[in-house]
Amino acid sequence: MHTDTERCVQAVQSKDARFDGWVFTAVLTTRIYCRPSCPVVPPKPQNMTFYPSAAACQQAGFRACKRCRPDTSPGSPEWNARADVVARAMRLVRDGVVDREGVPGLARRLGYSTRQIERQLLAELGAGPLALARAQRAQTARLLVETTGLSMADIAFAAGFSSIRTFNDTVREVFALSPSELRARGRQNLPQTPGAIALRLPFRAPLEPSNLFGHLAATGVPGVEEWRDGSYRRTLRLPYGHGIATLTPQPDHIACLLSLTDLRDLTQAISRCRWLLDLDADPVAVDERLCADPLLAPLVDKAPGRRVPRTTDAAEFAVRAVLGQQVSTAAARTHAARLVTAHGESVEDPAGGGLTHLFPTPQALAALDPESLALPRSRRTTLTTLVGALADGSLELDLDSDWDEARARLLELPGFGPWTTELIAMRALGDPDAFLPSDLGIRRAAQELGLPHTPAALTARAAQWRPWRAYAVQYLWATDTHPINLLPS
C-alpha cells in the first residue's frame, strides 16, 4: 500500500486509524515518522513519504513521533493473511526468532538461504531481518521502560540487546530520548502488580469479544486455562521459561498482564497473546467482503468485528483437536485435563488462581501408554501417531508452517479428515480462509439462514467469502446459543 501515494495522503489527512500498521508516514522536514492517525496537523503532501514498516523508517534515518507513538500501532494484517515466505518470515521475526536464533536460524526454518531472505524482505519491506528485529527490540525496551521499575541494565538484556551501550544508542536514535527521559516522560498509568508486566494490546476497531473470549473460556483446559474475574488466563510455554497471561477485554484495547519467569520471553509472550486473540486482523476488510452476501450481512451488521480464536501453541491445539473429535466440548476438556494432570509440568500461579500446569509437550506425550487413555482404540491410534510425528519432527506445526503443506501432512495421518485438518489450519496455523463445511454447527446455521447445507454445496457458495471463510465460520457459529458464543459472566 505504501506505493499508493494518493491513497496514503488521504489516510493521513483524514486521520484514518484503519491504516495504522499498514503504512507509516515519514515527514521529510522534521525527520519524524508517524502513524496515519497521528493527532498533529498533517504535513504538506510534498513533505510526506511512506514506508511499509517502522524498521524501514528507522533505517532511512527517521525517529518515532512522541505524540502518536507509531511503534505501538497494531501489526500489519497482511502477514496473517498470507502464506508466502515474506509473511512467514514476518511472523517469525515478530515471535522473536531472530533474537534467539539469528538470521541463519530464521532462514533455516523457512528453507531458504540468508541471502534470499534478506533480499525478499528488503524488496517488500525496505528493511532486512536484522533491522526488523532491531525495531522490535526498541519497542520491547520502551514497554519495559514505561511499565516496570526494572533497572536499565535488566531491561537492555531482557529486550534482546547484546550490550547496554547498544540499548542506549538504539533508544536515543529511535525515540530521540535517553532511556531515563523516556521513563520520566512516558510512564503509563497502568495498574502495577508486583512481579508482573501490565500493558495494553491495541487492535483495529471494531472487535466483538463475545465469541472470542467465550470460545477460549468454554473450551479451556482446567489447570492450563481459566476465566476469572472477567479475564481469560492461561499458562504459556516459552523459550527461556514459562509464563502466565491474563487478558481482559476493554472497549479500545486488551489489558494484558504477564507474569514471566524470564523477561527475555517478553517479546514472544506478547506475540503469542496477539496471535491468540487475532488482534492484527483488519475487521473492516473482512466484514466488507462478508456483507456482500445478503444472507450473511445481517449477522455481520449485528455484531461486526468477530475474530478467530486461536492458540498459543500449535502442537497443543492439534492434540486437543484430536481429543475433541466426535465428543462434546465438556468431554474434550475432561480428556485434555487428564493428560495435563498426568503428563503436564507443574507451575505456580502467583495470583492464587486455578492455573497449575503447562500443557504437556509432544515429547512427554509420546511416552504415554495408549491403554491408559479413556478413548476408543481408533482415536488412541490417531493421538499416538500425531504426538509421535510431532515429537520426532516429521510433522512441524508453528507460525511459519506452510498451510497447504501442513494440511497434506495431517491428512496422511490415520484418523485425520477434513474437519480436524481445517480446524487446526484455522485456529492453530492461522489460515484466514480455512473452512469447515461438514461441521454440525455450520450446517445447522446454514440451514436456518437458507444457505446450502450439504458440504459440497456450501463450499461452492462460500467461494464468494474468500479469502475470509474462517471469519464466516465465526459468524455462522454465533447463530447458536452454545457457551462458546457468549462472554462469560
Kindly give the residue spans of alpha helices, DSSP state H, lying in 148-194.
152-158, 164-175, 179-186
The reply to whether 34 belongs to the active site is yes
Choose the catalytic residue: 34, 68, 256, 273.
34
* Backbone φ, ψ for residue 133 (5° rounding): -65, -35
* Backbone φ, ψ for residue 400 (5° rounding): -95, 10
Residue 226's SS3 state is: strand
Under 8 Å between Cβ of 245 and 256: yes
- For residue 216, give Cα distances in angstroms to 312, 314, 375: 11, 15, 24
Under 8 Å between Cβ of 295 and 188: no
- For residue 52, give Cα distances in angstroms to 20, 36, 258: 11, 12, 29
- Tell the residue number behind the cell numbers 475487521, with chain if given: 283
CA distance 321 to 451: 27
Radius of gyration of the chain (CA): 23
* Backbone φ, ψ for residue 222 (5° rounding): -55, 135
DSSP string computed for 50-115: EESSHHHHHHTT-EE-TTT-GGGSPPPTHHHH--SHHHHHHHHHHTTHHHHHHHHHHHHHHTS-HH
Under 8 Å between Cβ of 432 and 468: yes
Under 8 Å between Cβ of 385 and 250: no
Count of C-beta atoms within a 10 Å radius of residue 280: 23
229 contact partners, CB below 8 Å, separation of at least 6 = none
1 contact partners, CB below 8 Å, separation of at least 6 = 7, 8, 19, 22, 23, 52
| Nearest Cα to Cα of residue 110 among 131, 84, 128, 80 | 84
438 exposed, middle or buried (CB, 10 Å; 0-12, 13-18, 19+)? middle
Choose the catalytic residue: 20, 95, 313, 439.
439
Q: What H or E segment, with its residue span, contains residue 135?
A: helix 129-147
Strand partners, 200: 255
311 exposed, middle or buried (CB, 10 Å; 0-12, 13-18, 19+)? buried
Under 8 Å between Cβ of 203 and 17: no
As annotated, the active-site residues are 34, 439
